[in-house]
Amino acid sequence: HHQHIPPLLAGLAPRPTGWITMKLVRFLMKLNNETVTIELKNGTVVQGTVAGVDVAMNTYMKNVKVTVKGKNTVNYDTLSIRGNNIRYYLLPDSINLDALLIDDAPKQKAPKVAAGGRGPGRGRGR
């Protein structure tokens, strides 16, 4: 269990990969109504408007253009993409990443952990 790590070492404990995945998925969930390009692991390129993303990174899109390698582009009204087929998302330049990357989680423990055991204060306490 991670609970028994002394505070000094807490900052060094490897983050479970699920933590990073959750952060990513929570970010992607905010992309509703943004136009993105998604490249799949098989090289297919999907361009369209994000209608929703679930915790498994399954992505639901509308007004979609799908380009399969070496084939013509096909248009779909709606399309669901299985999360584990996605290689990457290309985001529009217009997107405000700073606003999207603010962590909505009410408990922001990360800064305290990072400063682990270097005396009181650091000017961040509330």
Name the residue with tokens 């990457």.
88
Mean pLDDT of the chain: 79
Q: Is the model's pLDDT at 61 over the cut of 60? A: yes
- Quick check: 92 and 35 in contact, CB under 8 A? yes
**Confidence band for 69, pLDDT divided at 50, 70 and 90:** confident
Q: What is the percent of the chain with per-residue pLDDT over 70, rounded to a whole number? A: 65
Element (H, E) at 101: helix 97-101
Q: Is the model's pLDDT at 81 over the cut of 90? A: yes
Task: Please give the pLDDT value at position 112.
Answer: 52
Task: Please give the pLDDT value at position 121.
Answer: 57
Q: Is the model's pLDDT at 117 over the cut of 60? A: no
In 3D, which of 93, 28, 16 has the Cα closest to residue 61?
Answer: 28
Alpha-carbon gap, residue 95 to 49, rounded angstroms? 13
Q: What is the pTM of this model?
A: 0.65
Q: Is the model's pLDDT at 66 over the cut of 80? A: yes
Q: Which residue has the higher pLDDT, 85 or 6?
A: 85
Q: Domain ranges for the chain, please list them.
A: 2-93
Q: State in words which class domain 2-93 has.
A: mainly beta
Alpha-carbon gap, residue 103 to 88, rounded angstroms? 21
Task: Please give the pLDDT value at position 15.
Answer: 54
In 3D, which of 28, 12, 32 has the Cα closest to residue 20?
Answer: 28
Q: Which residue has the higher pLDDT, 114 or 74?
A: 74
- Quick check: 67 and 73 in contact, CB under 8 A? yes
For the residues 31-60, what does the mean pLDDT come to? 95
Task: Please give the pLDDT value at position 79.
Answer: 97
- Quick check: 68 and 44 in contact, CB under 8 A? yes
